[in-house]
Structure 1
C-alpha cells in the first residue's frame, strides 16, 4: 500500500508540474496584450508593460506624450499591428532563456496616406520567480523606425491651386491671376505720415486703425514690408494714386480675378475667407482658418471640385542628413469648370440693360446649352474679394433696384409670354381649335356675377371673330381667359405641370421652381382666367420660360437646359407636349407676332425673328387701375434657331413697355448672327 501511495503521489506531482508549465505566461500572451493596448491607443498601459531599463531610459513624456502628440498631429487612424509567432522550438528556448524577439508589422492611415513599417520587439522576463512575466524593451523605433536613433518628425502641406471657371470657348469667367499686394515700408514713409495713412486707408477701403495695427506689430521694423491688401492689377486708377505715396510698395501676388465683373457677378459669384462658423462644419483636413471658400454663384456650387485637395508630406529630419519621407499625398489642384456660357453674349446682354433691372436667360434651343444667365443690376465681385467699404456695401443694400438680388434664379409673373404655353395646352387637350374664331365684343369681359366688378381687359379690338393666330399676334387677354375658363382649372394646371411647373428644373444651378398659384391650383375662376395670360399668381423663371419655348422648335419636345460642357446635348426634358402639326402652328404664329403683331420692333432686323411679347401689370390688388409694369420678350432667329433669348425688363412703364425688351433682344441677335 505504501508503494502505491508513493506512486500516486509521484503521478500527482507530475500532473501539477505539467499544469504549471501550461499556465506560464508566454511572450505571445504578453505581446498580444501590448498590441491590444497599442491598437486602442492606450499608451499609458503600454508604458506599464515596458522593461525597467526602458522606463529608466524613457520617461512617460518620452513615450506616452510623444505617442499622443505624433498620432494626433499625423491624424493616425485604422491602426493595425500584426506579429510573427515563434516556432515551438524557439518558444521553448525563449521560455528557458527569458528573452524573445518578435518581428511585427504596423499599418496605419495618416493625413498623408498609409504608413507601413516592419520592426522587432525584444522582450525580457522580469520580476520575482512567482510573478515573473514578459516586458517589452521599447525605443522610439516603435513609433517610426526612422527616429530610433534620433530625429524629428515633420509635416508640410501644399495648398492646391483653385480651378478656373471657363466659358464655352475656354475664356475665363474666374481665374487665378497676378494681383498687387499693396504694403508699406515704415522707414520709407514721408513727413506727413498720418495724412498718407488716411489716404491709403481710403484707397484700400481700410480703416486707419487697421493700418496702424499692422504697422505696430512686434515683427515690424523700419525696413519691413508690411502687407495691407491685395487689389487687381486692372485697378490702375487706385494703384496710380497709391504708388505716388512714399513708402507704398506693390509686390506681385496671386489672387482670384473675375474678368466680366458685374456682367457675370450673380452667375459666377465670388470667394471669400472662410468664417469661423463654416470652419466648424468643414473637414479640418481640407480647410484651414485662412482658406478661401466659394461664397456665391458657381464658386459656391462647385466648391468641392474647384477647391482641390492639399498635398501633405510626413518626413523625418536629422541634422546634417537628407530628410526621409515617411508618407506623402500629392497635392490635387482644383478642377476647371467648363460651362456652356458664352462670355460675349453674357456681357452683351448685361450691358444692354444700361443699369435697368431685369433678368435674361439665353439658350441654344436645339442643344439646350445655356449661353447666358443675366441679372441686372449687379455688383463687382472683384470688390467683394479685395475690399468694399461700409459705405459702398450700404449703398448696394439700400439701392431700390436691389443689385444684390439674383434675378435669374427667381420667378416672376410672365405676362403674355405664357400665352403660347396656354395655347399649346389647349391644342393638346382639344379645347382649342386653332381655326375657330371667338366673337369678342368690346375691350373688357367678365364671366358673370361671380366675378363681381372684375373684368379682363385687352389692348385692342378685333375686326370680327378672334382665332388663335390673331389672339397671339395682338396678345388678346380676353381670348386666352375665355379659353382657360372653357378648359377648366384642372386641365390648365395639369398642362402646366407637364411643362414643368411645380418641379425643380433639371439644371446644375439651383433655379426656383415655377408655380401656377400660391395654393397650387386654379379653382378660383378669376385666378384661372388671369393665369391663362400670365397674370394672377402664376410665376416663372426666365430659364424655364426659355426651355418651354424649345418645345415649338423641337417637334413638341421640351429640351433640358444644360450648364456644363460635359453634359449631354439635346437631351429631352419632356416628350410630345404638342404634335408636329401643332408645333408648326405655334411657329407660324410666333413669326406673325413680329411681322403683324406686338413685336414689330423686331421686324426691321436684317434676318427674320420670331417671338412673343409680354407686359405684366404689377398691381397690388385686382381693383387697381394702374401700376408698374415689367416687359418681356422671348425671341429667336426664325431660320437659324441657334439662340433663344427670354428677357424681362422691370419698370418699363416709362420706357415704352415690352417694346424695350424687343429692341434689346433684337440688337443682341443682330450682334451675334
Structure 2
C-alpha cells in the first residue's frame, strides 16, 4: 500500500513537472508563448524566451534584425505555426524536450510549408525554473545553417495596358526619369546647389537636406529626390548640368493622353498600408501598384500583374544551396476599349479652358467612342508623385478639375424636347400636324400658377406644330404637351426609357432622376419637365443612348466600352420598342430640319455634303424664375443621317454670355467634319 502511494506521488510530480500546475513554467506554456509572439512578429518578446546559451550566440539586436530582414525580404504577409505536442513531453539524454511543429507562411514566392522541431531546456531564471527555447538558424528554415543567408530574386510581371479602338494607348508601361543625388558629390552644407535643384524640381530644399542626412546614407549612394516625365527635356537638361545629379530610367505607368482622358483611365499608385491589410490574401505586396480610379480601378483584377520570386539559401561561400520556394511572374491582361483616341483628344481640345462634358457614340452598335470631362488633371502627376501644393491647387480650383462631369447628372434643357414629343406621339396626345394656339413669350395654365410663367425666346410666324416647335425650340409648346400627356403617363414613359434606373455600363455613372423622389407632383413641375427643366437630371451618356432610338427604329442601344466583350449581335438593345418606327422616323426628320432649316436653332451645323439631325439645348441653372444671376449650360447633340456612324453630344457650362447653345453648335459640327467623311 505504501509503495503504491509513493508511485502515485511520483506520477503526480511528473505530470506537474511536464505540464505544469496552473499552466506555469512548463515546456508547453513556454512554446505556446513563443508561437504567439512569432505569429505577431514580436521578435523582441521571442528573444526574451530564448535559452541563455542561445542568447550568447546572438544579440537581441541581431536576432530582431535577422528576422525583420528575412521576413521583409520574402514579403511575408502571414505566418501560422502549429505545434504537434506528443501525448507526453519527455526529456532526452541532454535534458531537452523536443516539440515538432508545422509552419505555413505566405510570401512573394507563394506559400511555404515545412516541418521543424523546437528544443526547450529548463533553466533557473529569477529564482524560478522555466523552460526556454534552444535557438539557432534552423528555427527560421530547417535547411538554414549558421553563416548562411536567405536571398530573394524577383521577376516583375507587366501590368495589362489599355488600348483604344484605333490602336493608340490610353495607359501603357513605360519609363519616367528618376532624379537623384550621389550623396558624396554634393556637400550637405552647399545650400546654393540644393536650392538650385529644388527650384528646378519645384520642391523644398529642406526635403533634399533631410534625405541626404538620413542615417543610412553613404557617400557613393544614389539618393532619389524626385520623379519627372521623360518628355520634360528642359528640366532634364538643366538638372544634368549640375554636378552630383544622376538621372535614371524608372519603370512606371504612362498616360499618353494626359488630361484628355484622365477620368476615363483613372490612375495607379502604390498600394497603401490600409489597402494592403485587406489585399494581402490576394497576392499584393508593399511594392505593388493598384488602380485608384477610372478603368484602372474598374478592371484592376484583369490588368493586375503578379511578380514572381525565388527564395533560396546561399551557403557560406556565396553559392546557391537550395531553393525554398519559387513562383513565376504573371503578366496582366490588356484591356481593349472602344474609345477612339483621336475623337477623345479633339473633343477635349475644343474646351480649351471651358468646363463641360462630351460623349461620342456609334449609334448602331453602342460603341462609346469618347467620354470627355473638362477641365481635368494629368494622371501622370499621380504616378510621378504629386506635391501637396499641386494637390491643393487642384482642390481649390474654381473650375473643379477633379470633378468627373461625364459621370454626373445635369438638367438636359431643350435637347429633352424630342423625347417629350416621342412620348406624346406614342400616347396619341398630339398629331404632328396639330397646331397649338400659342401667342406671346410667356404662358401659364391658369391663375392657380400665380406669378409663374413658362417663357420662350421668340415668336415665330410659322404654325405652332411639332416640326416648328422643334425648329424654334418652343418651351411653351412642350410644356403644354407635357400637361396633355399627364403626370402618371409622363413618369411611366420616362421610366420605360430607363430614367431612374442604373444604366448597364462598365463605368459607374450617376443614375438619372425624374425628380428628387422620381415623381412629378405638380403641374408646374410637369410643364417644366416637358422642356427638360424642373427637377429632371440626366446623365449625358444615357441621354445619348436614348437618342440612338431615333436611328434604330425605336430601340435604345446598350452602350459599351470593353471591346473584348462586345455584343455578339451588332445591335445589342437595352430598351426595346420604346417608340415605334414611324415615331422615330418622324422625330429624326424633324431634327434634320432643326439643322437644315435656316430658322433652325442648329442651322450653324448645316453641311450640304454631310446632313445632320440634331437638337440644341440651353439648361438654366438658377434658384427661381426671377433669379437673374444664375448660369446656363449649353448643349448640342447630333447624328449624321445619310449612314449613321457617329452620334455626338457636347455640353458646355456657363454659356450665358457666350451665345447659349449656339456656342456649342459649331464645335459639334467640327467633330463631324473631322471624323465623319
Same fold (TM over 0.5): yes
Q: In the superposition, relative to structure 1, how do residues 535 and 120 fare at CA in structure 2: closer, same or farther (>3 Å)? A: closer
CA distance in 1, matches of 2:55, 2:79: 25
Specify the alignment match of 2:21 in structure 1: none
1:417 aligned counterpart, secondary structure: helix
Specify the alignment match of 1:216 in structure 2: 213
Deviation at 1:231, TM superposition (A): 0.9
TM-score by structure 2 length? Answer: 0.80
Partners of 1:605 and 1:670 within 8 A in 2: no
Specify the alignment match of 1:266 in structure 2: 263
Listed one character per residue, the Cα deviations across residues 308-364 of structure 1 (whole Å, up to 9, x for unaligned) are 223243434333443322332222233322221111111000001121111001111
Specify the alignment match of 1:617 in structure 2: 620
Listed one character per residue, the Cα deviations across residues 60-111 of structure 1 (whole Å, up to 9, x for unaligned) are 999xx99x999998667798999xxxxxxxxxxxxxxxxxxxxx99896743
Listed one character per residue, the Cα deviations across residues 104-149 of structure 1 (whole Å, up to 9, x for unaligned) are 998967434455779999xxxxxxxxxxxxxxxx999899764589
**Residue 411, structure 1, aligned to residue 409, structure 2:** yes
1:253 aligned counterpart, secondary structure: strand
Specify the alignment match of 2:345 in structure 1: 347
Q: How does 1:478-557 map to 2 (within 5 A)?
A: 478-557=476-555
Aligned length: 638
Listed one character per residue, the Cα deviations across residues 15-40 of structure 1 (whole Å, up to 9, x for unaligned) are xxxxxxxxxxxxxxxxxxxxxx9xx9
Deviation at 1:571, TM superposition (A): 1.8
2:410 aligned counterpart, secondary structure: coil
**Can you give the 5+ residue segments of structure 1 that lack an aligned partner in the other structure?**
1-36, 46-54, 83-103, 122-137
TM-score by structure 1 length? Answer: 0.80
Specify the alignment match of 1:94 in structure 2: none
Specify the alignment match of 2:243 in structure 1: 246
2:170 aligned counterpart, secondary structure: strand
Specify the alignment match of 1:582 in structure 2: 583
Deviation at 1:429, TM superposition (A): 2.5
Could you say what the CA RMSD is over the residues aligned between the two structures, in angstroms? 4.9
CA distance in 1, matches of 2:352, 2:141: 66
Partners of 1:440 and 1:462 within 8 A in 2: no
1:566 aligned counterpart, secondary structure: helix
Partners of 2:252 and 2:383 within 8 A in 1: no
Q: In the superposition, relative to structure 1, how do residues 428 and 324 fare at CA in structure 2: closer, same or farther (>3 Å)? A: farther
Listed one character per residue, the Cα deviations across residues 569-591 of structure 1 (whole Å, up to 9, x for unaligned) are 33211111011111111111111
Specify the alignment match of 2:660 in structure 1: 657
Deviation at 1:394, TM superposition (A): 3.7
Deviation at 1:455, TM superposition (A): 0.9
Specify the alignment match of 2:159 in structure 1: 162
CA distance in 2, matches of 1:43, 1:311: 31
**Residue 206, structure 1, aligned to residue 203, structure 2:** yes
Listed one character per residue, the Cα deviations across residues 253-293 of structure 1 (whole Å, up to 9, x for unaligned) are 22222111111122222223444444444427644445433
CA distance in 2, matches of 1:448, 1:392: 55
CA distance in 2, matches of 1:352, 1:275: 37
Specify the alignment match of 2:130 in structure 1: none
1:505 aligned counterpart, secondary structure: coil
Deviation at 1:557, TM superposition (A): 1.1
CA distance in 1, matches of 2:495, 2:301: 33
**Residue 175, structure 1, aligned to residue 172, structure 2:** yes
Specify the alignment match of 1:294 in structure 2: 291
Listed one character per residue, the Cα deviations across residues 225-248 of structure 1 (whole Å, up to 9, x for unaligned) are 322111111112322322233332
CA distance in 2, matches of 1:387, 1:349: 28
Partners of 2:265 and 2:294 within 8 A in 1: yes
Which of 363, 373, 381 is the aligned partner of 2:361? 363
**Residue 337, structure 1, aligned to residue 340, structure 2:** no
**Residue 669, structure 1, aligned to residue 672, structure 2:** yes
Partners of 2:549 and 2:584 within 8 A in 1: yes
Which of 315, 318, 327 is the aligned partner of 2:315? 318
Specify the alignment match of 1:11 in structure 2: none
Partners of 2:103 and 2:115 within 8 A in 1: no
**Residue 422, structure 1, aligned to residue 423, structure 2:** no
Listed one character per residue, the Cα deviations across residues 146-175 of structure 1 (whole Å, up to 9, x for unaligned) are 458996555555453332222123321122
Partners of 1:205 and 1:388 within 8 A in 2: no
Query: Considering only CA atoms, is the larger Rg found in Structure 1 or Structure 2?
Result: 1
Q: In the superposition, relative to structure 1, how do residues 341 and 118 fare at CA in structure 2: closer, same or farther (>3 Å)? A: same
Specify the alignment match of 1:572 in structure 2: 573
CA distance in 2, matches of 1:245, 1:511: 49
